[in-house]
Amino acid sequence: MDSAGEKGLAGRPRVLVPEKLSPDGLALLRTTLDVDERKGLSPADLLSIIGQYDALLIRSETKVTEQLLQAAKKLKVVARAGVGVDNVDVKAATQLGVIVVNSPSGNVGAAAEHTIALLMALARNVPDACASLKGEKWERSRLVGIEVKGKTLGIIGLGKVGLIVARLARGLGMNVIALDPYASPAVAQSANVILVSSLEDLLPLVDFLTIHTPLITATKGMISSHELNQMKPGSRVLNVARGGVFDELALLAALESGHIAGAGIDVFTTEPPHKEPDSSAALLIAHPRCIATPHLGASTVEAQENVSIDVCEQVLHILAGDLPRSAVNAPLILPAEYKTLQPFVKLVEKMGSLYTQHYTGRKQSSPRDTFDLIYQGEIATVSNTKPLFAALVKGLTAPISDHAAGNVNIVNAELISKERGIFINEKKSRDASAQTYSSLITLIARPPSRSTSFSRGKSGSVFTNPAEAMGEASQHIISGYCSDNSPHISRIDRFATSFVPEGNLLICHNYDSPGKIGVVGSILGREGVNINFMAVAPARYSSNAIDVQPVDGSITPAKDRTNESLMILGVDKEVEDKVIKDLVSEGGVLNVNSVAL
């Protein structure tokens, strides 16, 4: 090791930078910290020296494994100059008390501008025209384009990137409509964006379509043949979000038929696509009406500088004992409280994600914007419930917006709630004397409110019966508890159950008749889907109301109980739409939702 890396000034924290970062950010660190730039380290080299450092700054190449974190005895923070933290073992870092931060906003402007660049390139045939002219051709009549002024841009996911795209498009004179169940109506109105409630309302109206969502089960293949066929003939599509939100083969077919006039694609299911020449990504890129770029959405000088400065500032704050702006994990409470809360943080996040995926899918009911989060039993005695509040916001928003799951934490949860128009009221019952569960958490989702303004409910408020939190019975309810630090779901609306919310799940609503389980099992087996576990949830509650379950945990017999039930199946892989359709048609199931937790 060189002398700079061997020993810094006495008492100054040390920072290791094994990848190239913008010098502007590193200059900030050098004012109070010792910074060692050690590019080209092998994993073994990194492992041998990591124990000397208080902070580690990385981009995408360095793998921060559990083994590395175990060896990093002094490490307080891992800072990722960018958004994704797939190369960091966040769970191990959390267990070891290492804060993981990223820069979720540093490159949003770059991604939005690249979206507009592809939009304009499609409209005016820029790449084709350039290639033609370089080929010594003069094809003005063949390359006539269209103007974007007066055209309609449809945006799926009105988060940070989507909102900037909307404002840029408005500046070009475009009309903008958007689909996002948690978009704030006030923010949308301020950007002159019209919100719609479904893909069916959005797709037939747009001349250009762009998506800005994460890639999860609910968004994978979101735009396929059915959706593309709903679009206007001659419309165009853009993807600067995640490879896979468009069904690449369906898009290729739509381009071949001419129904879709063009596609501007920056992200692919296979990257780099040439690794698999026969992949859907490679075939799509080869199409003459596809303008393709090699994942350049965040690749600007300014974006790289922004993310470097952002994470370097956070490292300074954390090493000074302050809170970070963008903690991916958030062990920023007292150790004793964190130990108590940790399993419930996971539970509440799963409950929020389960709600969003189960209830607000394309064929489900309209989204709610008002939620009650009710704590009963021992969990109600914890004074700091901010991690639970943050976990709910994280679970609710991660499946449907470009706030990636790791970007919501106790630092920014209330801000994100305000931005998304989500109202969460926390309530407590400290009477645990007769609880069936030592701690029970219930999430109640109310119908959309036109007049609700953001306010975080007072977590110290105490009530004696959860019925105080309820209005009409059109709300949705999910309850859960923890057993041996493992989260369990105990209720979904009228149905009583007990299952661990983990992995790929199928939630089947069906009539509870003999042989139903066997029929469903045979259909899944025929399609090569293995069932890891199954839980049957009978209709044990009289309605979608919480007052049928008193605080003592007893269950009132349902007066209007039917022979309906839920069948919750844990499966070994994502289930395709065709299989879900077969379950409904052949299996006699009322409806099926696929959920990834």
Contacts of 242 (CB under 8 A, 6+ apart): 213, 214, 215, 219, 267
The position carrying tokens 């004992």 is 321
pLDDT band at 431 (very low <50, low <70, confident <90, very high): low
- Highest mean pLDDT among 117-131, 366-380, 413-427, 576-590 belongs to 117-131
Burial of 171 (0-12, 13-18, 19+ CB in 10 A): exposed
CB 411 within 8 A of CB 323: yes
Q: Which CATH architecture has domain 3-106+302-319?
A: 3-Layer(aba) Sandwich (3.40)
Could you give the 3-state DSSP secondary structure of residue 198? coil
Q: Tell me what pLDDT residue 332 has.
A: 47
CA dist 479 and 476 (Å) reads: 10
**542 vs 459, higher pLDDT:** 542
For the segment 505-550, what is each residue's pLDDT rounded down to a tens digit?
999 988 877 878 888 888 998 888 899 999 888 888 776 655 433 3
pLDDT reading at 380 higher than 80: yes
pLDDT band at 582 (very low <50, low <70, confident <90, very high): confident
Q: Tell me what pLDDT residue 419 has.
A: 78
CA dist 100 and 77 (Å) reads: 6
Active site residue 19: no
CATH (residue range 335-596):
3.30.1330.90
3-state SS track over 397-451 = HCCCCCCCHHHCCCCCHHHHHHHHCCEEEEEEECCCCCCCCCEEEEEEEECCCCC
CA dist 280 and 381 (Å) reads: 54
Q: Tell me what pLDDT residue 273 has.
A: 87
**Parts of the chain belonging to CATH 3.40.50.720:** 3-106+302-319, 108-292
Active site residue 226: no
- Highest mean pLDDT among 203-212, 317-326, 514-523 belongs to 203-212
The pair of three-digit structure tokens given for residue 275, joined into one six-digit string: 């690794």
Angle between helices 160-171 and 108-124 in degrees, nearest 10: 40
CA dist 336 and 64 (Å) reads: 27
pLDDT reading at 8 higher than 60: no
For the segment 139-191, what is each residue's pLDDT rounded down to a tens digit?
999 999 999 999 999 999 998 899 999 999 999 999 999 999 888 899 999 99
- Highest mean pLDDT among 377-391, 394-408, 469-483 belongs to 377-391
**Mean pLDDT over the full length of the chain:** 83
Q: Of 287, 289, 295, 456, which is the active-site residue?
A: 295
Active site residue 259: no
The pair of three-digit structure tokens given for residue 432, joined into one six-digit string: 């645990």
Burial of 588 (0-12, 13-18, 19+ CB in 10 A): middle
CB 235 within 8 A of CB 206: yes
CA dist 276 and 281 (Å) reads: 8
Please state the rounded mean pLDDT for residues 444-466. Answer: 49
Of 162-171, 250-259, 434-443, which range is least confident? 434-443
CA dist 594 and 571 (Å) reads: 10
CATH (residue range 108-292):
3.40.50.720
Burial of 147 (0-12, 13-18, 19+ CB in 10 A): exposed
Which residue, 442, 453, 530, 531, is CA-closest to 489? 442
Contacts of 509 (CB under 8 A, 6+ apart): 564, 565, 566, 589, 590, 591, 592
**Stated pTM of the model:** 0.72
The position carrying tokens 């029929």 is 519
Helices (runs of H) and strands (runs of E) counted in the chain: 19, 22
Q: Of 242, 368, 446, 491, which is the active-site residue?
A: 242
Of 336-350, 380-394, 446-460, which range is least confident? 446-460
For the segment 34-56, what is each residue's pLDDT rounded down to a tens digit?
999 999 899 999 999 999 999 99
Q: Tell me what pLDDT residue 341 has.
A: 81
Contacts of 555 (CB under 8 A, 6+ apart): 496, 540, 541, 548, 549
Please state the rounded mean pLDDT for residues 337-355. Answer: 86
Q: Tell me what pLDDT residue 546 has.
A: 53
φ, ψ for residue 436 (rounded to 5)?
Answer: -65, -40
**Parts of the chain belonging to CATH 3.30.1330.90:** 335-596
Q: Tell me what pLDDT residue 242 has.
A: 86
Angle between helices 577-585 and 516-526 in degrees, nearest 10: 150
Please state the rounded mean pLDDT for residues 248-259. Answer: 95
Share of the chain above pLDDT 90, in %: 47
CA dist 150 and 172 (Å) reads: 9
CA dist 81 and 85 (Å) reads: 9
Share of the chain above pLDDT 70, in %: 84
Q: Tell me what pLDDT residue 367 has.
A: 62
Please state the rounded mean pLDDT for residues 372-387. Answer: 87
| Identity of the amino acid at 109 | G
Q: Tell me what pLDDT residue 456 has.
A: 47
For the segment 85-114, what is each residue's pLDDT rounded down to a tens digit?
878 998 788 767 788 988 877 888 999 999
**DSSP state, residue 560:** T
Torsion over CA: 425, 428, 434, 435 (sign): positive
- Highest mean pLDDT among 94-103, 226-235, 560-569 belongs to 226-235
Q: Of 6, 66, 271, 302, which is the active-site residue?
A: 271
pLDDT band at 575 (very low <50, low <70, confident <90, very high): confident
Q: Tell me what pLDDT residue 430 has.
A: 62
Contacts of 229 (CB under 8 A, 6+ apart): 254, 259
Note the residue count of the chain: 597
